[in-house]
Chain A
Amino acid sequence: METDQLIRTLAADNTEPARPVGFVLALALVAAAPVSVLMFVATLGVRPDVMTAMHNPFFDLKFAVTLALAISAVVLSLHLSRPEALLRGWALLLLVPAGILAAGIGGEMMMPQRLPMMTRLVGNNSRACMTAIPLISLPLLAGALYGLRHGAPTRPAVAGAVAGMLSAGLAATLYASHCTDDSPLFVMTWYSIATALVAAIGALVGSKVLRF
């Protein structure tokens, strides 16, 4: 086919442009969320003392951190779905959840504690945390990657890693309502390892499926 012919064909196909990437990403996440929620409810469930736990600021802080991670990763992934996007500056968005967590750690340090620092950091649920967050995040990761395929990321591995952080943030939000380890030191250690794992999976898969 000659290029002039191709151009004529493309011009003939200039009907209504496709939906924005954000719309498709939102739909895909909404479709994937019930699967993750079901996995969570069927295996772990919300902790029984959740009503009392809500009065503990460190319990609530977990949600601030995980949701901040999810939201900044959504914004960053939509930015990266534009081909001309530059990473610099925008990656600082990921410092928002890190900053909230650091403030939480500082706050905890200043309060009298029953347990020594290392005990709080190691906690009781580290293995569950590192297993549950990646597993629960998989359906969401699939949804996020599907949504981002609609975009045109010129750094597919980076975009995939951010999709991993996005889904880990959402999965960790679910998991946080189950876990009885509320110390920000626990969150900093085990949630981060789980998130890094999902980000690595996202980068690996993204480098293949997000190419356009």
Chain B
Amino acid sequence: MREREDEWTGLMRLAISGDNAAYHRLLKAVTPVLRAAARRGLARAGQPVDQSEDIVQDILLAVHLKRHTWDANAPFAPWLFAIARNKLIDALRRRGRRIFVNIDDFAETIPGEPAAETAPASEVAAQLRSLPARQREVLQSIAVDSASIKDTAAKFAMSEGAVRVALHRGLTSLTAKLREQS
């Protein structure tokens, strides 16, 4: 557990300094932990646990857009779990239940829990459709078609800088729309 969290902190430091591969690895590594915690929270609130994926994506977006509030001298896990807990409470409240989220839900989660069937997330995809065309196209190209920034720029005859801006704006307004719906 300790080792795992030290590894996360190291990866996040690399990510902040511009290492995209480290950032990708970090997000991949924390996702099963977040998913297990979301399922546990849903179960405790008497909700269907297969709805966890929307919560996971919500947490990942918040982690991404608020990562500048992480202090690189502090361990990463407490920061991550604070964001996750906040998002989980929001999600459960939106589903209209009184909820008890324990911080230990995150800290004690074992990543290797049985990956019982999880319904695909739908909220991010739904909000994606309401984005301005350019942002939506860029997001879809990178997310769904796995194109690089460079390829996306060539495909839409944009500069790479413009693709980066559209991508970032798209993610920001996607997050804002998810928040408004709650």
Bound complex: CA of A8 vs CA of B83, how far in Å? 20
Bound complex: CA of A15 vs CA of B89, how far in Å? 29
Given contacts A3-B57, A81-B69, A83-B86, is CB(A14)–CB(B62) below 8 Å?
no
Which residues of chain B are near A12, meaning CB under 8 Å? 20, 142, 148-149, 167
Over the window 1-26 of chain A, the binary record of Cβ atoms lying under 8 Å from chain B Cβ atoms (1 yes, 0 no) is 11111111111111111111100000
A21 and B68 contacting across the interface, CB-CB below 8 Å: yes
A84 and B68 contacting across the interface, CB-CB below 8 Å: no
Which residues of chain A are near B167, meaning CB under 8 Å? 9, 12-13
Over the window 38-64 of chain B, the binary record of Cβ atoms lying under 8 Å from chain A Cβ atoms (1 yes, 0 no) is 000000000000000100110011101
A82 and B69 contacting across the interface, CB-CB below 8 Å: yes
B residues 2-60 with Cβ under 8 Å of A?
A: 15-16, 18, 20-21, 23-24, 27-28, 31, 53, 56-57, 60
Over the window 58-99 of chain B, the binary record of Cβ atoms lying under 8 Å from chain A Cβ atoms (1 yes, 0 no) is 001110111111110010001101110110001000000000
A16 and B24 contacting across the interface, CB-CB below 8 Å: no
When C-beta atoms are compared, the residue in chain B nearest to A20 turns out to be: B68
Over the window 48-79 of chain A, the binary record of Cβ atoms lying under 8 Å from chain B Cβ atoms (1 yes, 0 no) is 00000000000000000000000000000000
When C-beta atoms are compared, the residue in chain A nearest to B103 turns out to be: A84
When C-beta atoms are compared, the residue in chain A nearest to B78 turns out to be: A84
B57 and A1 contacting across the interface, CB-CB below 8 Å: yes
Which residues of chain B are near A13, meaning CB under 8 Å? 64, 164, 167-168, 171
Over the window 187-212 of chain A, the binary record of Cβ atoms lying under 8 Å from chain B Cβ atoms (1 yes, 0 no) is 00000000000000000000000011
Is B144 part of the binding interface, using a Cβ–Cβ cutoff of 8 Å?
Answer: yes
The interface size of chain B toward A, counting residues with CB under 8 Å, comes to 50
Bound complex: CA of A185 vs CA of B70, how far in Å? 42
A78 to chain B, nearest CB (A): 10
Query: Which residue of B64, B121, B146, B179 is within 8 Å of A211 (Cβ)?
Result: B179
Query: Which residue of B24, B62, B81, B164 is within 8 Å of A8 (Cβ)?
Result: B24
Which residues of chain B are near A20, meaning CB under 8 Å? 68
Is B157 part of the binding interface, using a Cβ–Cβ cutoff of 8 Å?
Answer: no
Bound complex: CA of A160 vs CA of B81, how far in Å? 22
A3 and B56 contacting across the interface, CB-CB below 8 Å: yes
Which residues of chain A are near B86, meaning CB under 8 Å? 83, 154, 212
A14 and B15 contacting across the interface, CB-CB below 8 Å: yes
Query: Which residue of A3, A5, A19 is within 8 Å of B144 (Cβ)?
Result: A5
Is A166 part of the binding interface, using a Cβ–Cβ cutoff of 8 Å?
Answer: no
B70 to chain A, nearest CB (A): 8
Query: Which residue of A3, A5, A11, A21 is within 8 Å of B69 (Cβ)?
Result: A21
Bound complex: CA of A82 vs CA of B90, how far in Å? 17
A residues 80-112 with Cβ under 8 Å of B?
A: 81-84
Nearest 10 CB-CB pairs, A to B? Answer: A11-B24, A84-B82, A83-B82, A152-B66, A5-B143, A18-B68, A9-B143, A7-B27, A10-B64, A84-B78
User: Can you name 18 A-B residue pairings with CB atoms under 8 Å?
Assistant: A3-B56, A3-B57, A6-B124, A7-B28, A7-B31, A8-B142, A10-B23, A10-B64, A12-B20, A13-B167, A18-B68, A20-B68, A82-B71, A84-B81, A151-B69, A152-B69, A154-B83, A212-B62
Where the two chains meet, the residues of B that have a C-beta atom closer than 8 Å to any C-beta of A are: 15-16, 18, 20-21, 23-24, 27-28, 31, 53, 56-57, 60-62, 64-71, 74, 78-79, 81-83, 85-86, 90, 120-121, 124-125, 128, 139, 142-144, 146, 148-149, 164, 167-168, 171, 179
**Told that A4-B28, A11-B23, A12-B142 touch, could you supply 9 new A-B pairs with CB distance under 8 A?**
A1-B128, A3-B57, A6-B124, A8-B24, A10-B64, A12-B20, A14-B23, A15-B164, A82-B71
